[in-house]
Amino acid sequence: MSKKYFHILVFAFILTLVMGLIFFNKLRQEKKLKLNKVVTTGLVKDVRIYKGVYYIYYFFEGAKNGNNNSERINIPNTTLNALRGILLDKILPVVYELGNVNNNYMLLTRKDFDKFNVPLDSNSLVVLNLIDSLSFSSR
């Protein structure tokens, strides 16, 4: 085996190892969040787009020093203004890990509510229906 192929194999192995560690850390954080969750409310402060992915910026009760948190949402063929119109200044549930407010997640889809076993309240239902209407109208 030549040195060139050896270096490629070593690089591929290291890259795979790093990606695996990132993946398992994400799974571990999600498991901790599910086991030790606190449900609170978060206020959506901004919606931005970067490389086709929408980022929802929010504050929530319990966050240290009013830290800005963000969540990604993917809605194909939606305009930024439409999503901003739906989400800006809306209050939605946020789950965070007891003792670790940095491990938090804003519930933006029905799947999120199911995943964290949080009941869907009427205010959140209105917002989720509006988000769903964007994704269905864009197809």
State the Cα–Cα distance between residues 45 and 107, nearest whole angstrom: 15
Residue 129 backbone dihedrals phi, psi, to 5 degrees: -65, -40
Q: Where are the domains of the chain?
A: 36-137
Identity of the residue numbered 113: F
Strand order in the sheet with 69-73: 69-73, 53-60, 37-50, 91-97, 100-106
On the CB side of 115, CA atoms within 13 Å amount to 13
User: Sorting pLDDT into bands at 50, 70 and 90, what band is 20?
Assistant: confident
Instruction: Look at residue 137 and tell me whether its pLDDT is greater than 50.
Output: no
C-alpha dist (Å) from residue 122 to 84, 97, 119: 20, 24, 10
Task: For residues 77-95, give the mean pLDDT.
Answer: 88
pLDDT, tens only, 36-77: 899 999 999 999 888 878 888 998 877 665 556 777 777 766
Among residues 27, 43, 35, 49, the alpha carbon closest in space to that of 94 is found at: 43
pLDDT of res. 139: 28
Identify the residue with better confidence: 100 or 26.
100
pTM (2 d.p.): 0.75
User: Sorting pLDDT into bands at 50, 70 and 90, what band is 120?
Assistant: very high
Among residues 96, 34, 100, the alpha carbon closest in space to that of 71 is found at: 96
pLDDT of res. 65: 57
